[in-house]
């Protein structure tokens, strides 16, 4: 294995990888040498396109449907992955509910809360338990990376930030407790993105977009590739002595 291929010979599962951050993670992991299993909820076309891009890197890829809000769907996906791949070296829980664009934006406050708690928190917990169970049976264990939010450490004004803080703060706290529970065979770490250019960033007012960049110490929005770099590191042998840690990928807004 070389620095150019830190994940050579490894297999990774990335949930919610049909677009945005998840897709960026899947592509970066493939370019780093990993074979990929990616999941999607509603965007099958995006999943197929992501799979084609991964195949173009020369890596093996499979994709499958999974509803993170449905425990039976998570269990079925974990079973299918374990039957399809020879082993699972890393499992990345990136999938989450959308409450800021499309139909999610129009939901009531309570409906948004219920959705986030069911998908982002409960779903991540169930998927993490399944991943840890599969990895514990492997000779070399494995790595779980859960996606949270950098502002859970400081808070942010507004209704949607309150909701995200509750769900993603739970993900962070759960991940730390899980890391102690499944060590030393399985490592569990957290990546906490900040302002990342996904569908939300592309759709906001230009002045608001520029204000975010100006208030960020590194003077720009992040990209899915920025988040992917942190995930690839945590999934690689270079991070073999890290567990229960959080990497903020937010340009220094939260330090």
Catalytic positions, please?
Answer: 164
Which tokens hold the place of 137? 């049976």
The maximal CA–CA distance of the chain, rounded, in angstroms, is: 53
List residues bridging with 188 in a β-sheet: 144
φ, ψ at 145 (rounded to 5°) = -120, 120
| Closest among 235, 120, 236 to 172, alpha carbons compared | 120
Query: How far is the C-alpha of 251 from the C-alpha of 255, rounded, in Å?
Result: 9
């Amino acid at each position: 294995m070389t620095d150019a291929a830190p994940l050579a010979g490894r297999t990774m599962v990335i949930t919610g990888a049909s677009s945005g951050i998840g897709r960026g993670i899947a592509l970066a992991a493939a370019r780093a040498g990993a074979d990929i299993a990616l999941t999607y909820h509603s965007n099958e076309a995006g999943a197929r396109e992501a799979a084609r891009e991964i195949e173009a890197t020369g890596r093996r890829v499979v994709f499958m449907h999974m509803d993170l809000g449905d425990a039976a769907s998570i269990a079925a996906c974990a079973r299918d992955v374990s039957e399809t791949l020879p082993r699972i070296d890393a499992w990345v829980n990136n999938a989450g509910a959308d409450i800021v664009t499309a139909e999610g934006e129009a939901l009531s406050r309570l409906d948004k809360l219920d959705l986030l708690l069911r998908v982002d928190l409960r779903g991540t917990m169930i998927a993490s338990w399944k991943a840890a169970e599969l990895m514990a049976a492997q000779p070399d264990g494995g790595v779980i990376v859960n996606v949270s939010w950098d502002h859970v450490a400081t808070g942010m004004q507004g209704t949607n930030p309150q909701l995200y803080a509750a769900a993603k703060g739970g993900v962070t706290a759960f991940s730390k407790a899980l890391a102690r529970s499944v060590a030393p065979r399985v490592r569990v770490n957290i990546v906490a993105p900040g302002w990342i250019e996904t569908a939300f960033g592309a759709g906001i007012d230009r002045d608001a977009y520029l204000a975010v960049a100006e208030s960020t110490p590194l003077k720009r929005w992040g990209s899915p590739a920025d988040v992917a770099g942190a995930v690839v590191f945590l999934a690689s042998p270079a991070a073999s002595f890290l567990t229960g840690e959080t990497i903020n990928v937010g340009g220094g807004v939260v330090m």
